[in-house]
C-alpha cells in the first residue's frame, strides 16, 4: 500500500457506503440480467432451428445462388474517435493542451502521440485521467470512455471509486489516487 497523506475520513466513509450500496444491489440485478439474456438466447435458437427444419427443400438452389452473388455492404459513418472527441472537448472549454496533460499527470510525448494519431487507443487509466483533468461530469466521462472502448463498471471497486469522485466533483488526481489506495486498488 502506498502512503498518501491521510484522506478525509468522512469522504472515505461516504465512499465506502457508496461502494457497498452498489455491491449488494447490483449482484442481484446482474444475476437476473444474465438469466434473462440466456433465456432469450435459448428461445432464439429454438425458433431458428424450427424455421430451418421446416424450410422447403425447393428453396435450397435459390438460396445457394443468392449466397454466391456479391453483396454490397454499406457501412454507416463511423462515430468520432477518442482523439477527435477529446480535442473537441479541450477546444470547446478553451483549455491549453499543456494544462490538460499536466493536470492528468500524462507525459507530453504521450499527449502529442494522442494528438497526432486519430486512431490512438489509450489505456483505461490514461482515458480516466484525461476525464478527471477536464473535470467532465459522469455522462461526459462515460461518452468519452466509450469512444476508447471502456466504461465505468458498477461491479468493479476501482471504477466505483472513480465514479464516486466524479459524481462528487473530486477531480484532483492525488485525492482520487488516495481513495483508490485506501480500498487497495491500483492507482491511476
Q: What cell does 130 get?
A: 484525461
Is the pLDDT reported for residue 159 higher than 90? yes
pLDDT score at 68: 54
| More confidently predicted of 156 and 19 | 156
Please give the Cα distance from 152 to 146 (Å, whole number).
9
Contact in structure between 135 and 99 (CB atoms under 8 Å) = no
Rounded to whole angstroms, the Cα distance separating 29 from 35 reads 10
Residues in the chain: 188
The answer to whether residue 143 scores a pLDDT higher than 70 is yes
Residue 1, pLDDT score = 46
Cα distances (Å, whole numbers) of residue 162 to 107, 118, 125, 159, 187: 21, 26, 11, 5, 10
Confidence of residue 168 (pLDDT cuts 50, 70, 90): very high
Q: What is the pLDDT of residues 16-46, one digit of tens each?
A: 887 777 666 555 665 666 566 556 555 555 5
In this prediction, residue 61 carries a pLDDT of 56
Higher pLDDT, 18 or 69: 18
Write down the mean pLDDT value for the chain.
80
CA 107 to chain CA centroid, Å, is 22
Vertex 16: Cα angle to 176 and 10 (nearest 5): 75
Closest CA to 128 of 111, 104, 101, 156: 104
Burial class (CB in 10 A: 0-12, 13-18, 19+), 50: exposed
Tell me the per-residue pLDDT of 40-66, one tens digit each, with 9 for 90 and over.
555 555 555 555 555 555 555 555 555
Amino acid at each position: 500500500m502506498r502512503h498518501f497523506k491521510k484522506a478525509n475520513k468522512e469522504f472515505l466513509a461516504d465512499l465506502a457506503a457508496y461502494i457497498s450500496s452498489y455491491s449488494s444491489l447490483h449482484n442481484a440485478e446482474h444475476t437476473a440480467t444474465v438469466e434473462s439474456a440466456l433465456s432469450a438466447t435459448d428461445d432464439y435458437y429454438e425458433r431458428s432451428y424450427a424455421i430451418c427444419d421446416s424450410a422447403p427443400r425447393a428453396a435450397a438452389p435459390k438460396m445457394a445462388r443468392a449466397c454466391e452473388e456479391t453483396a454490397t455492404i454499406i457501412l454507416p459513418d463511423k462515430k468520432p474517435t477518442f482523439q477527435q472527441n477529446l480535442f473537441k472537448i479541450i477546444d470547446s472549454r478553451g483549455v491549453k493542451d499543456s494544462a490538460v496533460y499536466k493536470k492528468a499527470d500524462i507525459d507530453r510525448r504521450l499527449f502529442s502521440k494522442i494528438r497526432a494519431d486519430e486512431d490512438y487507443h489509450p489505456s483505461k487509466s490514461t482515458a480516466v485521467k484525461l476525464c478527471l483533468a477536464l473535470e467532465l461530469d459522469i455522462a461526459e466521462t462515460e461518452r468519452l470512455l466509450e469512444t476508447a472502448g471502456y466504461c465505468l463498471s458498477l461491479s468493479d471497486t476501482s471504477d466505483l471509486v472513480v465514479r464516486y469522485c466524479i459524481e462528487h466533483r473530486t477531480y484532483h488526481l492525488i485525492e482520487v489516487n488516495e481513495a483508490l489506495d485506501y480500498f487497495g486498488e491500483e492507482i491511476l
